[in-house]
Amino acid sequence: MNRINKKLVEGKKLLSIYFTAGYPKLGDTVKIIEDLEKNGVDLIEIGLPFSDPLADGPTIQESSTIALENGMHTELLFKQLKDIRKSVSIPLIIMGYFNPVFQYGVEAFCKRCQEIGIDGLILPDLPLDVYQNEYEHIFKKYGLINVFLITPQTSDDRIEQIDSASYGFIYMVSSASTTGAKEGFGEEQKNYFERIASLKLANPQIVGFGISNAETFNQATQSSKGAIIGSAFIKHLAKNGVDSISGFIKNIR
Amino acid sequence: MTYNADERGYYGEFGGAFIPEMLYPNTEELRQNYIRIMEEPSFRKEFDQLLKDYVGRPTPLYFAERLSKKYNTKIYLKREDLCHTGAHKVNNTIGQILMAKKLGKNRIIAETGAGQHGVATATVCALMGIECVVYMGEIDIARQAPNVARMKMLGAEVRPALSGSRTLKDATNEAIRDWINNPVDTYYIIGSVVGPHPYPDMVARFQSIISEEIKWQLKEKEGRENPDYVVACVGGGSNAAGAYYHFLDNPNVGIVAVEAAGKGIDSGESAATSVLGKVGIIHGSKTLLMQTQDGQITEPYSISAGLDYPGVGPMHAHLFKSGRGEFISITDDEAMKAGLMISKLEGIIPAIESSHAFAILEHKVFNPEDIVVINLSGRGDKDLNTYINYFKL
Ligand SMILES: Cc1ncc(COP(=O)(O)O)c(C=O)c1O
């Protein structure tokens, strides 16, 4: 059983953290992952930086630009993660854009992920139909869970399609926005969270975008399985560096 | 083989819609409706009327006698430079603003590099009284001050793109991000045959008026509808798509695509995507693009801001890959010389983008009886400063 599926059946709300590999310093990747696990984080999304991150707001864009300037690239990330399973046991997901994966070769990329012990991928610009027609069999061959996004604008029909193509969790984008654009939740989110809960989907949902502290974490996880923090964590790293990760996590829960 | 998009927006292996789920409802709404709306008689009527009375169509097909003599062949110029706002770009923005209205949208966003598409968008938004936000790279804003002023006069808000390399590709990213953040009321007017399906096909259809006119104009002048060659410059590829459109399936018409080699193919400062690009994903489309080995998109260079794009539309990637189109790259120097030559020989100062198309006359030899149509995509007013600095005028 994939580590993600195991984690999802634990009887608690899950805290997932996103960070951009190669940021703030090129060599920070392993330390960040180890510290996050030590501090009780349930799941980690390792961002593979891209020059043109369409779905991201300024904070993650900036971290990606710096990571690339620092010299991060696909092969280097794999090298840094080579022995990660000797020290870390929580699920690890690589999140990135499709072009770098496509250039590496989708099959070669998935194979390396399996060798390292990566459990899943989030590639926001790999659409459902292309995934199903061309790549699903490769992801499955290497034991990788592909995570799809839904948004408040996604129709019920489409959500059901996505649910039936999923075999891990659904990434529920909290509002119509790029990452880091809004903080906090209003009436629209409440209705959206309730609508999704009422659909009784086969896959649990983890909420992302707009979560930055204990309050938003609790709101987001009221009717979902967990929540993802990205931009707020990147901002924390920018200000405090990698030595104060425990402080950040303790403020969430 | 067909050279048009299939139902899923593919030209051979190129095209499609590689977009994050946040954009799915917007592009899906457009995909389901664009052909139906374009075929509605009321849409057709308004589009044709505006092209005629506002843009100034049909644009002339002009027999360039002195140029023909110099190169010992028969050269016609399709005068898109005479369109309102000075380039072919407005054919597309007229079409898309009508599309936005039909879809009930009340806010327009666009990206621009040199500012030509931004001006053409601001123009139609003024015409329709619709709010307009144009994203432009911070560096381009500094380089293209007159077009920034034009957009402001026309009532548009020009927002600087501060991310990445702060040029056209980043302005496009910012426009897409705006659309993600405003999915309901906003319509995105893309400026070329790029982006996710259905944009490349829709923009090509709006620009296809160029080849539609060439056909009947050539029939009038030469007694035949089809030239031997159609030549156009390719940035994203919209003027070229329009000029080729009705000739694509006729193998007797040669398709010549002209890309910007910048300071030379091997100089590291070039925008010749067909030579330097590899298959990948840019702005939601699978196409040829310039990128590092790792799949990071690189910054192109050309003296002509309108050709300074790291990709080409999927139609052109397919024309290249299939061999249907002949692709030629022209350096800054060759283009600038050709621009000066056309000015002196024909009394027409071309946009530097279009000057690239003329420069192929030094590379490719045509037969005396060949009929060659060169798409003169825009006029050179916007480029005067570049011409002045280059030739020390
Ligand atoms: C006069 C002119 N020609 C050509 C282009 C290139 O665009 P496309 O390749 O889409 O025609 C531009 C773009 O700004 C332009 O202004």
**ipTM of the complex in this document:** 0.96
Please give the domain boundaries of chain A with CATH numbers for all domains. 3-250 (3.20.20.70)
Average pLDDT over residues B127-132: 98
Which residue, among A54, A63, A104, A170, would best test binding to B if mutated, counting the most B CBs under 10 Å from its CB? A54
Which CA distances in Å does B15 have to B309, B318, B376? 17, 9, 27
Kindly report the average pLDDT of chain A as a whole number.
96
Sheet holding B371-376, edge to edge: B61-63, B74-79, B371-376, B229-233, B254-262, B325-331
Does the structure show a pLDDT above 90 at A218?
Answer: yes
Banded pLDDT at B360 (limits 50, 70, 90): very high
Banded pLDDT at B164 (limits 50, 70, 90): confident
Banded pLDDT at A216 (limits 50, 70, 90): very high
B71: Cβ contacts below 8 Å, ≥ 6 apart: B361, B366
Return d(Cα B210, Cα B236) in angstroms, integer.
17
Does the structure show a pLDDT above 80 at A182?
Answer: no
Q: What is the pLDDT of residue B165?
A: 81
Q: What is the pLDDT of residue B114?
A: 87
Which CA distances in Å does A107 have to A128, A136, A141, A231, B359? 18, 11, 9, 30, 44
Return d(Cα B291, Cα B294) in angstroms, integer.
8
Q: What is the pLDDT of residue A86?
A: 98
Kindly report the average pLDDT of chain B as a whole number.
97
Average pLDDT over residues A109-134: 98
Average pLDDT over residues B335-357: 98
Does the structure show a pLDDT above 90 at B14?
Answer: yes
Average pLDDT over residues B194-210: 98
Q: Which atom of ligand 1 is nearest to the CA of B235?
A: 9
Give the B-side interface with A, CB within 8 Å: 8, 16-22, 24-25, 162-164, 169-170, 173, 176-177, 180-184, 278-284, 291, 293-298
Type of residue found at B19: I
Banded pLDDT at A87 (limits 50, 70, 90): very high
Banded pLDDT at A184 (limits 50, 70, 90): confident
Does the structure show a pLDDT above 90 at B328?
Answer: yes
Interface residue A70 vs chain B (CB under 8 A)? no
Does the structure show a pLDDT above 80 at B188?
Answer: yes
Average pLDDT over residues B105-116: 96
Return d(Cα B195, Cα B301) in angstroms, integer.
20
A127 Cα to chain B: minimum distance (Å):
6
Q: What is the pLDDT of residue A252?
A: 96
Interface residue A181 vs chain B (CB under 8 A)? yes
Q: How many CA atoms lie within 13 A of B37 on its CB side?
A: 21
Does the structure show a pLDDT above 80 at A161?
Answer: yes
A241/B163: higher pLDDT: A241
Q: What is the pLDDT of residue A181?
A: 74
pTM: 0.97
CB A99 to CB B295 under 8 A?
yes
Does the structure show a pLDDT above 90 at B142?
Answer: no
A45 is catalytic: yes
Does the structure show a pLDDT above 90 at A1?
Answer: no
Candidate from A127-131, B141-145, B149-153, B316-320 with smallest mean pLDDT: B141-145
Which CA distances in Å does B244 have to A4, B4, B51, B261, B336? 51, 11, 19, 22, 24
Q: What is the pLDDT of residue B144?
A: 87
Return d(Cα A231, Cα B310) in angstroms, integer.
29
User: Which of A28, A35, A42, A45 is flagged as catalytic?
Assistant: A45
Q: What is the pLDDT of residue B343?
A: 98
Tens of pLDDT along B78-87? 999 999 999 9
Which CA distances in Å does B228 have to A14, B61, B251? 66, 15, 10
Q: What is the pLDDT of residue B167?
A: 87
- Ligand 1 centre to CA of B375 (Å) is 11
Does the structure show a pLDDT above 80 at A183?
Answer: no
Return d(Cα B233, Cα B354) in angstroms, integer.
6
A156 is catalytic: no
Tens of pLDDT along B239-295? 999 999 999 999 999 999 999 999 999 999 999 999 999 999 999 999 999 999 999
- Ligand 1 centre to CA of B356 (Å) is 11
B111 is catalytic: yes
Ligand 1 lining (C-beta closer than 6 Å): B 87, 89, 114, 116-117, 192, 233-240, 306-307, 351, 353-354, 377-378
Return d(Cα A18, Cα A93) in angstroms, integer.
9
Place of tokens 């007017």: B189
User: Which of B74, B78, B89, B286 is flagged as catalytic?
Assistant: B89
Among A8, A14, A17, which residue's Cα sits nearest to residue A212? A17
Type of residue found at A214: A
Q: What is the pLDDT of residue A40?
A: 98
Which CA distances in Å does B148 have to B114, B140, B301? 9, 9, 21
pLDDT > 70 in chain A, percent: 100
Does the structure show a pLDDT above 80 at B207?
Answer: yes
